[in-house]
Amino acid sequence: MGPRPGLPDVRPAALDVVRTTLPLVAPFATATGTEAVREVLLVRARDRDGHEGWGECGALSHPGYTGEWVDGAEAVLRGFLLPAALEGRPASVTGHPMASAAVAAAVLDLRLAVAGRDLPSWLGAVRDRVPAGVAVGVAASVDALVSEVAGHVAAGYQRVKLKVRPGWDVEPVRAVRATWPDLSLGVDANGSYREGDVGLARLDGLGLAEIEQPLPADDLVGSAAVARRLATPVCLDESVTSLGTLEAALALGALDHLNLKPARVGGLEPAVAVLDRAAAAGVPVWVGGMLATGVGKAVDVALAALPGVTLPGDLPASRRWFERDLTEPWELLPDGTLPVRPRGPVTLP
């Protein structure tokens, strides 16, 4: 995202890759794998006057969620993206949106620091707090799942999303729905079903807010068929990687809701373009997270405070994942929201 009025076009004097590891409070099992620790990959931008900016790469430890992963992202950053940014030229790199988003976020954060501005107000946030939801991974048993959800409901989260896959879907979801009949409840399949899978039809009658990414990311035609067949709204996540893929999904009728992750689409600038287009098309949007530390969450929360984001996102408190965050912890407020605020200093372990 280029500088807006009042924001200087500062070129960093130095760009560094910073890597650390944070243990997760509990392993998080999804339809595509399990994360037990968070391998955190950061970009730090500095000028000659002591200002600095930070960006976080959303890539996970393994290329299961997308084709990016931490080791590959670090290699692309060191070999291509950072040298190009230091020279003030475009990087000749195909793909790697999460690594690119980290560079863009660090440079923008540096410019904001030089200008004495904060991201939410500069971006145009219209809220001082955003509704928070929480994602719950595949559990060891239905009873364990219900117990975990109980903790999140007691904490005050406005929405709960359950990870599902063939063989772990109707029974656990039905148990949660029976325990909390009025809970805003969604499910996320991470593309683990195929169009004719009976599990999708059986989920359709459980009063869900949405079924997220039921089919593989590249099957927009199949997603459109599922969206036509189900009464439950279909939300796309991995399928929408750019404004172009959103346009294709809209043309096909492949989505009812959109999970927007700035890391997945290449950073804040393309994320705002995707958000504006979805809002213009009348598609409800929420902002998703990537097991982010407080560095990445600051970007997600600022985006979630913009007009057009209308649903609670996957933006939990820091303690959901980490005993100690890299920044001032993000705390869930009593009304089930997160405050929209500047990020604060970054402290490495």
Q: Which residues are catalytic?
A: 163, 261
Which of helix, strand or coil describes residue 234?
A: strand
| Cβ 61 vs Cβ 227: under 8 Å | no
Whole-angstrom distance, CA of residue 300 vs CA of residue 292: 9
Residue type, 35: E
Pairing of strands 33-46, 52-57: antiparallel
Q: Which candidate, 302, 343, 347, 340, places its Cα nearest to that of 324? A: 347
Residue 103's CB: how many other CB atoms inside 10 A? 24
Pairing of strands 185-188, 234-236: unpaired
* E-strand stretches of the chain: 14-30, 33-46, 52-57, 129-131, 133-136, 159-163, 185-188, 211-212, 234-236, 257-260, 285-287, 337-339
Assigned token pair, 321 = 């994942």
Which of helix, strand or coil describes residue 293?
A: coil
The total number of residues shown for the chain amounts to 349
Whole-angstrom distance, CA of residue 130 vs CA of residue 134: 13
Residue 171's CB: how many other CB atoms inside 10 A? 11
Whole-angstrom distance, CA of residue 277 vs CA of residue 136: 29
Q: Which candidate, 148, 188, 182, 194, places its Cα nearest to that of 168? A: 188
